[in-house]
Chains A and B, each alone.
Chain A
């Protein structure tokens, strides 16, 4: 009995949390799409600053990680392919798994670590130091002022980063392809281009768009719900990272299943 009550309570809390994420995203969408027509312009400058922070500054570390991932994928694929003497499929194995799955996912995880956590820390600190209250007393909506630019920056930059990550993964795979699988660099790129369909790339980008919404919603929600005291900011930051990773993988599963059943493959 006790267990069922606890289980029920947990499920209710989880649903309420998802509801709060959806509400936050919807309000950000309102301030992006509807409010500008009612004389409340989007804060473009803040969105650009955020986009620099989320996107451009993440490039070095993301490039390195996805280059390694591409190389690892090539090695792992070759382990199996070599049994069939099909080493020439290494390029397509890397290209497809990067663009459909690992490009979006690894990018999302890097961005969670860099930006999702910093959203929670930034907004949480502002909550603790009464800066959010100050915004409200100045009749400035914190969702419009703080959260909306982050959403805009994230849903633009995450797909861009994903495209970059895909390219770096292919580059990483080519290192193995050229040195061990008998490709030239050009023939490796040709094999990659032949293996990829547009839908592979698009499905990855749709996922990364959804990941962007998820990461921003969780980071900002955790920041906004920070309790009193500096240690609560740390707690918010940690849970922003943990919850984001979990939800990004859940969203990944949902969309992969959707593409599989709707797309016929």
Chain B
């Protein structure tokens, strides 16, 4: 089965459209005009090193940061100019799984998953109970509804967080560093989970990561962010064969030359800003 990406799907509007998106913290601009589309039902992996701006991009997409300029179109609304009520409406169609899970420590796993349902629907308790068991079952956590988050392992916390993100049957699902801090076997399990969700629900999935193996496993397309700019955008195959130096550096895991070469580093320390030796 081919994923619904590319020219065949031109008539379907993209799930997310970014146009010249700029985001700043104070005076420091983090994203310098990012533009790309995310198609309905595709899994897009946002790659980038530490400090590249990929996490800021994700936070902006879910409305946690406001862009300084540019447009983010989701469900026909521009997140950059939207009112708080409209943003809340859009957020009910999005789910986000945070890096550390961000489960509420004072509530059980079941209460965590049920929270969006209790807040946003008028469902009766027995119905909510069935739904939360269903969601926990989907992420492989059946029977854990009465556990507190502190009693779960790292991988289980992430699964519980995914269950909570799935609670409202979102159209778009966001993952922030799904495999960070997990051992390779548990991380592979989370990748499997993302693949299962993709096949079962055909939802649009956006994953921020710097784990290459997991990126190539789950992505329909990838976008590489470096210092706040989109360096490359394409399918896994296009990325693998790309000649772009930044893409090659990232995929071949080549360290920054300035820091890897001790002599260069020493030279950098002993030279002032204009390149004159001290």
> Which stretch of A6-14, A99-107, A128-136 is in the interface?
A128-136
Contact A129 B100 (CB under 8 A): yes
Contact B98 A140 (CB under 8 A): no
How near does chain A come to B77, taking the closest CB pair, in angstroms?
A: 14
Contact A139 B91 (CB under 8 A): yes
Residues of A within 8 A of B72 (CB): none
Please measure, in the bound complex, the distance between the C-alpha atom of A134 and the C-alpha atom of B96, giving whole angstroms: 8
Q: Tell yes or no: A265 within 8 A of B by CB.
A: no
Please measure, in the bound complex, the distance between the C-alpha atom of A62 and the C-alpha atom of B18, giving whole angstroms: 57
Residues of B within 8 A of A139 (CB): 87-89, 91-92, 116, 119-120
How near does chain B come to A99, taking the closest CB pair, in angstroms?
A: 36
Contact A131 B92 (CB under 8 A): no
Secondary structure dominating the interface of B: mixed
Q: Tell yes or no: A198 within 8 A of B by CB.
A: no
Chain A: CB-nearest residue to B116: A138
How near does chain A come to B108, taking the closest CB pair, in angstroms?
A: 15
Residues of A within 8 A of B64 (CB): 133, 136-137
Please measure, in the bound complex, the distance between the C-alpha atom of A111 and the C-alpha atom of B175, giving whole angstroms: 40
Please measure, in the bound complex, the distance between the C-alpha atom of A171 and the C-alpha atom of B272, giving whole angstroms: 75
Contact A133 B98 (CB under 8 A): yes
Q: Tell yes or no: B62 within 8 A of A by CB.
A: yes
A140 and B104 contact, Cβ closer than 8 Å, known pairs A133-B64, A134-B98: no
How near does chain B come to A97, taking the closest CB pair, in angstroms?
A: 40
Please measure, in the bound complex, the distance between the C-alpha atom of A108 and the C-alpha atom of B98, giving whole angstroms: 38
> A131-162 CB contact bits vs B (8 Å, 1 = yes)?
10110111110000000000000000000000
Contact B98 A138 (CB under 8 A): no
Contact B100 A137 (CB under 8 A): no
Q: Tell yes or no: B128 within 8 A of A by CB.
A: no
Please measure, in the bound complex, the distance between the C-alpha atom of A140 and the C-alpha atom of B121, giving whole angstroms: 12
How near does chain B come to A261, taking the closest CB pair, in angstroms?
A: 42
Contact A131 B104 (CB under 8 A): yes
Contact A138 B102 (CB under 8 A): no
How near does chain A come to B174, taking the closest CB pair, in angstroms?
A: 8
Q: Tell yes or no: B56 within 8 A of A by CB.
A: no
Chain B: CB-nearest residue to A131: B102
Q: Tell yes or no: B63 within 8 A of A by CB.
A: yes
Contact A130 B94 (CB under 8 A): no
Please measure, in the bound complex, the distance between the C-alpha atom of A134 and the C-alpha atom of B64, giving whole angstroms: 10
Please measure, in the bound complex, the distance between the C-alpha atom of A111 and the C-alpha atom of B168, giving whole angstroms: 39
Residues of A within 8 A of B120 (CB): 139
Residues of A within 8 A of B119 (CB): 138-140
> B92-108 CB contact bits vs A (8 Å, 1 = yes)?
10111011101111000
Residues of B within 8 A of A129 (CB): 100, 102, 105
Contact B99 A138 (CB under 8 A): no
Given contacts A138-B115, A140-B116, 11 further A-B contacts (CB under 8 A): A129-B102, A130-B99, A131-B102, A131-B103, A131-B105, A133-B98, A136-B63, A138-B116, A139-B89, A139-B92, A139-B116
Q: Which residues of A contact B (CB under 8 A)?
A: 125-126, 129-131, 133-134, 136-140
Please name the 5 residue pairs, one residue from A and one from B, whose CB atoms are nearest each other, closest first.
A134-B102, A139-B88, A139-B91, A130-B102, A137-B96
Of the A-B pairs whose beta carbons lie under 8 Å apart in the complex, a sample of 8, sorted by A's number, is A129-B100, A131-B105, A133-B64, A134-B96, A137-B62, A138-B115, A138-B168, A139-B120
